[in-house]
Amino acid sequence: MKRRSSRLWRACITGLIGYAALAPWGATLAQAQTADEQVTSVVSPSPDPPGNGVRGEFQFGSYGRVVVASDLDGGAGKEVNVVSFGPRLQESPYLELDLAYALRTNTDAEFKTVITAALVNAMFHYDGDFDGQIALRNAFVEASGFGVEGLSFWAGSRMYRGDDIYLLNFWPMDNLNTVGGGTRYAFTPDMSLAVHFGANRLDNRLQFQNVAVPAPTFGTENRILNDRLRPIVSARWEHLFHELAPGVGMKYVVWGDFQRLGEGVTRDNNDVEIELPTDTGYTLGAQVGAWGFTPNGFANLFFRYSRGLAVAGELNIPTAGLATDRTYASASQVRLGTSFNAESRWIGVTGGAYMQWFSDADDVNYDRDDYAEGVFAVRPAIFITDHFHQAFEISYQRRVPEGLSPRTDSYLEPAILQFGFMPTLSLGRGMYRRPVLRIIYAASLLNAGARDLFPEGDPRHEASTQHFLGLGAEWWFNSSTYR
C-alpha cells in the first residue's frame, strides 16, 4: 500500500511539474527581478465564462539543495552536530515545489490556492531507491480584498512561521505546522494582527490508537481506543517603522501560542492500558529587527519562552522526562537568538547564533536530559566577480548537560569547532543571491564529549577531526520557504 501511495504521489508531482513547464507555451510569461530572487508568473485565461471579470495567475516556485560529499576516508560525508540546531554546512538533500493559483475579480477580491510538496533525501541517482520521502507542506486557500481593506482569511494545511536563522536552518521564535485556519487584519500597511487556530492528531498511540476486539460473528475488528486531538491557537502582532534614517527601517513582533491534549487511554505492547492525563503548553516570544543599514543588510534579535507541550514541539509527543503524573506541563525552555547580514559591492558577511536552556518535567535535578547549549556561525565572502565568490565559515557549538555520560560515567561537555571553505558560482553579488553552485570543504574538531555522543566504531567516535568535501547546489525562487 505504501509503494502504491508513493507512486501516486510521484505521478501527481510529475503532472504538476509538467504543467508548470508547458504553461508558458499557451500563456503570457511575466518576469520580475528582485535583489534576492527571481519570481516567474504565468498569466493564463480564466476557466470561468468570459465577461465575468475573473483573472487567473499561476505561479511556480521552489526551494532546494542537493549535496554529495565524502569524508576523505572512503565513506560519505557525515553531519556532526552536538546541539539541537547546528550549522547547515553539511545538510542533506531537500526539495520543495510550490504551486500557486490566484483568482482575482473586478472588485479586487482574490482567492489564492497554494500547494507545496516536499521531498526529503529523495535522490534516486544516489541511493537507487524509487520510494523517496514525500510530504505535503502547504495546501491552503487564502482570501482577501472582499470588502474590508486589510482583512484576509485562510484555511487548510500550512507552514506557519516568521523569520529564520539561515546559517542554522531553523526558525527560533515562531514555527508551526498546522491544519486549520486563520485571519490577518492590517490596521495600517505597517501594523497587523494575525490569529490562527489549528489541530493535529499524530500517528502515535499516545494520540491515536486502534485495537483489535472480537467481532459480533467471528474474527476481530478494529476499535478506536485512543483519539486525542491537539488544538493549537496562536497570535502574532507585527509593527514596522520605515525611514527612521534614509533607507533604514525597524520592526518588532510579539508572538504567543497555546496547545492542549485532552485525557485518553492507550495500550502498550503488553496489552496493559495506561491512563493519559490532560496536558498543556504555551510559548511567548518577541523579535526586534532592523534593515537597510547596508545593501541587503538586516539584523534580528529573538526571544522565546516555552512551557509544557510547546517545549516538545507540535509534531512530537514527549515520552521521557515526564512528571510523576505523566504530564509534561512543568517542562521549560528559554531561547535567545540572533541573525544578521551586511554587504558591500566587494564583500559580505552573514551570521547567526542562539543559546537555550532546557529543563524537562521530571524531579531529577542532575541528568543529561536537562542542559544548556549554544552555537554561533559566521560566513564572510569575497565577491571576486559578479558571479564568482569565495566564502568561508567558522562555527562553534557546545552543550552543557546537567548529568554524567552513561558511556564513561564522567562529566563531559560536547563541543565542536568547525571551519568551512566554499568557492561559489552565484547568480550575482550578495550573500543571499540564488541559485548557487559551490564546492564545500569543512573540517570539524570534536572534543571528547562530542565523540562520546557517537557509538564505538563510528568514525565520528574514533577521530577528533572529521572532514567533509562535497559539491552542492542551492536555489530558491518564489518559494514559500524564503518568500
C-alpha cell at 254: 510579539
Q: What is the pLDDT of residue 482?
A: 53
Q: What is the pLDDT of residue 365?
A: 82
Q: Please indicate whether residue 432 or residue 27 has the higher confidence score (pLDDT).
A: 432
Is the pLDDT score of 382 beyond 60? yes
Contact 151, 144 (CB under 8 A): yes
| Amino acid, single-letter form, for residue 479 | S
Contact 255, 297 (CB under 8 A): no
Q: Please indicate whether residue 258 or residue 27 has the higher confidence score (pLDDT).
A: 258
CA angle 129, 130, 132 (to 5 degrees): 85
**Distance from C-alpha of 229 to C-alpha of 233, rounded to nearest angstrom:** 13
Window from 127-136, 181-190, 257-266 with minimum mean pLDDT: 127-136
263-314 residue pLDDT tens: 999 999 888 999 999 999 999 999 999 999 999 999 999 999 999 999 999 9
Contact 339, 289 (CB under 8 A): no
82-100 residue pLDDT tens: 999 999 999 889 999 999 9
For 359-385, what is the HEC assignment?
A: ECCCCCCCCCCCEEEEEEEEEEEEECC
Contact 130, 72 (CB under 8 A): no
Residue 350 CB burial class (10 angstroms; 0-12, 13-18, ≥19): buried
Is the pLDDT score of 483 beyond 90? no
7 band by pLDDT with thresholds 50, 70 and 90: low
Q: What is the pLDDT of residue 481?
A: 62
| Number of residues that make up the chain | 483
22 band by pLDDT with thresholds 50, 70 and 90: very low
Q: Please indicate whether residue 213 or residue 420 has the higher confidence score (pLDDT).
A: 420
Residues 6 or more apart whose Cβ sits within 8 Å of residue 93: 65, 66, 67, 120, 121, 122, 123, 126
Mean pLDDT for 112-139 is: 86
Q: How many helices (H) and strands (E) does the chain have?
A: 5, 24
316-342 residue pLDDT tens: 999 999 999 999 999 999 999 999 999
Q: What is the pLDDT of residue 231?
A: 97
Mean pLDDT for 386-393 is: 98
| Amino acid, single-letter form, for residue 175 | N
Q: What is the pLDDT of residue 33?
A: 35
Mean pLDDT for 378-407 is: 96
Q: Which secondary-structure segment (H or E) carries 451?
A: helix 448-452
Contact 143, 154 (CB under 8 A): yes
**Distance from C-alpha of 327 to C-alpha of 317, rounded to nearest angstrom:** 11
**Distance from C-alpha of 375 to C-alpha of 349, rounded to nearest angstrom:** 17
Mean pLDDT for 163-192 is: 96
Q: What percent of the chain has pLDDT over 70?
A: 88
Distances (CA, A) of 282 to 67, 232, 308, 448, 454: 37, 9, 7, 36, 33
414-430 residue pLDDT tens: 999 999 999 999 999 99
Window from 24-28, 252-256, 408-412 with minimum mean pLDDT: 24-28
Q: What is the pLDDT of residue 359?
A: 95
Q: What is the pLDDT of residue 316?
A: 93
Mean pLDDT for 104-108 is: 89
- Of 270, 264, 260, whose CA–CA distance to 208 is shortest? 264
**Distance from C-alpha of 178 to C-alpha of 175, rounded to nearest angstrom:** 10
Q: Please indicate whether residue 468 or residue 366 has the higher confidence score (pLDDT).
A: 468
Q: What is the pLDDT of residue 25?
A: 36
Is the pLDDT score of 28 beyond 70? no
Is the pLDDT score of 66 beyond 70? yes
**Distance from C-alpha of 466 to C-alpha of 86, rounded to nearest angstrom:** 15
172 phi and psi, to 5 degrees? -80, -15
Contact 113, 138 (CB under 8 A): no
Work out the mean pLDDT of the chain and round it to a whole number: 88
Is the pLDDT score of 366 beyond 90? no
Q: What percent of the chain has pLDDT over 90?
A: 76
Q: What is the pLDDT of residue 53?
A: 79
- Of 360, 355, 457, 446, whose CA–CA distance to 403 is shortest? 360
Q: What is the pLDDT of residue 425?
A: 98
Q: Strands 264-267, 248-261: parallel, antiparallel or unpaired by DSSP?
A: unpaired
Q: What is the pLDDT of residue 310?
A: 96
- Of 300, 81, 317, 332, whose CA–CA distance to 172 is shortest? 300
Long-range pairs for 134-141 at CB < 8 Å and ≥24 separation? 134/6, 134/9, 134/10, 134/13, 137/96, 137/177, 137/480, 138/98, 138/114, 138/480, 139/114, 139/115, 140/113, 140/114, 141/111, 141/112, 141/113, 141/114
